[in-house]
Structure 1
């Protein structure tokens, strides 16, 4: 099995063991240095490196390539959906990729895997930018096109690993069109207006939205909280679940998708006080039905005992924005971004912000909130200029 070691900023060493000779002496390993395309995101880079490791190992061991030159992309995708993806992907990712496959198959399904040329794939992305959404008929958003690219890359990477292809033709074929839009966040003045609007809502919605804003939790993470997750003495909350609701599927609760997603966040005295008030109301509501609130109950619970689902809060938040005359480009996830941006504005270092948000790598935080860190850098340079008189 090949191993991958990081050497420099964009340099990796692939090492393939050659086993032992007839006398039992270890043979010298073979090494190769590779440089991933710089535009790849962390997960894409990891997938690219795995591909290179598989190919280099085959080369070292002279493994024959079991390439079936007659197999079409459609036939391989059938196999991939049935045999490969369910074993590798989370349920939510599998569901999303199946939706992307519905876009990929009509345009590319008839091509043999070995006939998928870069020009064909590049033209496919251009066509996708003109393709209508199923909801309102408007052209697909650039983010949707990028998602289709990621799905196609994932499928073809698995085809490489299984020996159907010698390389992945989709790498480097996607280039974002237009300027990348900044994620909508609320500044300090808008945050105060938003908080005032939330205080006019029921205690349930006030608590939920303020909690997301105060901690930077994801929607599903807040829905997955149980009362037992709160340490009142330390004013800390253990984030360890995510609630997901897919179309025509029952609610399911799963662990965070990365180890760093399982984390502890902290709340202020005011936020803790609001949570206690909400717990008291929940206990009173349960008592009306001759029930007792349990520590394993979800903070935001349906009468059935299941957690509330993220979309319930998404719709409510949009209604609050409309009723309060607040910018409607905000959404529940904007509260998470606002939390991160305010932390950065206060000078909190990137690693701390990453750990609070549950990012597996600080580089992810830097990529997402580059604009916020750029402002901090500008401010720092201006302050230095004032000190130096330059």
Structure 2
């Protein structure tokens, strides 16, 4: 148990509470005007210690900046460079300037909500959610360390992400784009395998199985802050992806004169970087395709991944095959992303139900066979 001691202050008689923290160090709180107030506080301390809910007021004085730096460091060890870079940028530009000097115990739910609302006026939902997630994650750690009793950044009204409509090219449009491109084989490869840009440009000659018409996806080459980082695919799992027969010859020609470790696309020595969104070769190819076909949509290299899903499903591939081809973590994720492409399955359900109902009703409506009278005496 703790103890209570009276002392004289400028404002008169005051009381101080001394107690043992869970770590056995001494804690105190001063300034109680009555002994009863001091006793109530001491009782609350003892109850919170017994329940494992004790919050050390001095621990709440650590700043968001100190804990945020620790949180970012922990994320750097588990995230790919391409995923960590946006977090570091958001912390530096949007979170740290507002909160880094504030003690974690001083933050209030309403002021964090006001900050999120203010960001939402000038930033996309994705950027706002990223900034909020950094602050909320930092304060989650403070809660677990018993620095604060609850996370004031949780339970906010947050902006909702709205995905842009997906673009699906037809076989004819893929060919038109390839013919207009400086890298026709790469365009067709992306449109018929669904590989992400970094997965395709990370392929090496040794990853190509010409007999089975498969590529083994085990590397991902992504440019982050001007540097190409080569690592595992997005889900950290390798996969085997088929490609159609018409790509066999152009892929074989790309392998001629190259060693097993040579990069498949590009010059064989350096990874191709994602073309510039306004001045790159892909945008130029789209422009030429639009000149030839006014209905040709504006798209990015990643939209060819959507095209691959669409072409595979229209060719009769089931959701599990599409999931494996695209490298999604689960078939449920594939359905969530491309549910609109499986509308024909709903039509099949409707047709099957109609046929089942008709069969049941017709069978019930048929007259029952009467016993034969031929054998009666």
- Please confirm whether the aligned pair reaches a TM-score higher than 0.5, indicating the same fold: yes
Does residue 224 of structure 2 align to residue 265 of structure 1?
A: no
Contact 2:177 2:285 (8 Å CA) reproduced: yes
Match of 2:323 in 1: 354
Tell me the CA shift for residue 240 of structure 1. 0.4
Does residue 168 of structure 2 align to residue 186 of structure 1?
A: yes
1:118 to 1:381, Cα distance in 2 relative to 1, 3 A: farther
Question: Alignment partner for residue 199 of structure 2, among 221, 239, 243?
Answer: 221
CA RMSD, aligned part only? Answer: 3.2
Does residue 115 of structure 2 align to residue 147 of structure 1?
A: no
1:110 to 1:232, Cα distance in 2 relative to 1, 3 A: same
1:306 to 1:376, Cα distance in 2 relative to 1, 3 A: same
In the alignment, the residues of structure 1 paired with residue 296 and residue 137 of structure 2 have an alpha-carbon distance, to the nearest angstrom, of 37
Give the 3-state SS of the residue equivalent to 2:113 in structure 1: helix
Tell me the CA shift for residue 258 of structure 1. 2.4
Contact 1:152 1:170 (8 Å CA) reproduced: yes
Spell out, residue by residue over 1:252-293, the C-alpha distance to the aligned partner (whole angstroms, 9 max, x if none).
211124243x1000111102222123334xx3xxxxxxxxx2
Does residue 252 of structure 2 align to residue 276 of structure 1?
A: yes
Q: How many residue pairs get matched?
A: 304
Question: Alignment partner for residue 113 of structure 1, among 83, 93, 104?
Answer: 104
Match of 2:187 in 1: 209
1:230 to 1:312, Cα distance in 2 relative to 1, 3 A: farther
Unpaired runs of 5+ in structure 1? 1-58, 132-139, 284-292
Give the 3-state SS of the residue equivalent to 1:237 in structure 2: strand
Match of 1:71 in 2: 62
Tell me the CA shift for residue 247 of structure 1. 1.8
In the alignment, the residues of structure 2 paired with residue 302 and residue 382 of structure 1 have an alpha-carbon distance, to the nearest angstrom, of 52
Contact 2:205 2:264 (8 Å CA) reproduced: yes
In the alignment, the residues of structure 2 paired with residue 328 and residue 73 of structure 1 have an alpha-carbon distance, to the nearest angstrom, of 46
Higher-Rg structure is 2
In the alignment, the residues of structure 1 paired with residue 221 and residue 189 of structure 2 have an alpha-carbon distance, to the nearest angstrom, of 16
Match of 2:270 in 1: 306
In the alignment, the residues of structure 1 paired with residue 267 and residue 276 of structure 2 have an alpha-carbon distance, to the nearest angstrom, of 11
In the alignment, the residues of structure 1 paired with residue 82 and residue 189 of structure 2 have an alpha-carbon distance, to the nearest angstrom, of 24
The TM-score with structure 2 as length reference comes to: 0.70
Match of 1:99 in 2: 89
Contact 2:107 2:152 (8 Å CA) reproduced: yes
Give the 3-state SS of the residue equivalent to 1:234 in structure 2: coil
Match of 1:7 in 2: none
Question: Alignment partner for residue 348 of structure 2, among 364, 367, 380?
Answer: 380
Contact 1:318 1:328 (8 Å CA) reproduced: no
In the alignment, the residues of structure 2 paired with residue 362 and residue 197 of structure 1 have an alpha-carbon distance, to the nearest angstrom, of 30
Question: Alignment partner for residue 139 of structure 2, among 124, 149, 156?
Answer: 156
Match of 1:5 in 2: none
Tell me the CA shift for residue 128 of structure 1. 1.5
The TM-score with structure 1 as length reference comes to: 0.68
In the alignment, the residues of structure 2 paired with residue 254 and residue 379 of structure 1 have an alpha-carbon distance, to the nearest angstrom, of 42
Q: How does 1:40-79 map to 2 (within 5 A)?
A: 62=52, 68-79=59-70
1:313 to 1:208, Cα distance in 2 relative to 1, 3 A: farther
Does residue 260 of structure 2 align to residue 295 of structure 1?
A: yes
Does residue 190 of structure 2 align to residue 199 of structure 1?
A: no
Give the 3-state SS of the residue equivalent to 2:60 in structure 1: coil
1:302 to 1:113, Cα distance in 2 relative to 1, 3 A: farther
Unpaired runs of 5+ in structure 2? 1-48, 359-377
Spell out, residue by residue over 1:82-131, the C-alpha distance to the aligned partner (whole angstroms, 9 max, x if none).
x4333333222221101111112233334432343433333322211222
More divergent stretch after superposition (354-363 vs 96-105): 354-363
Contact 2:202 2:220 (8 Å CA) reproduced: yes
Contact 1:243 1:310 (8 Å CA) reproduced: no
Tell me the CA shift for residue 198 of structure 1. 1.0
Does residue 309 of structure 2 align to residue 333 of structure 1?
A: no
Tell me the CA shift for residue 223 of structure 1. 0.7
In the alignment, the residues of structure 1 paired with residue 324 and residue 70 of structure 2 have an alpha-carbon distance, to the nearest angstrom, of 38
Tell me the CA shift for residue 331 of structure 1. 0.9
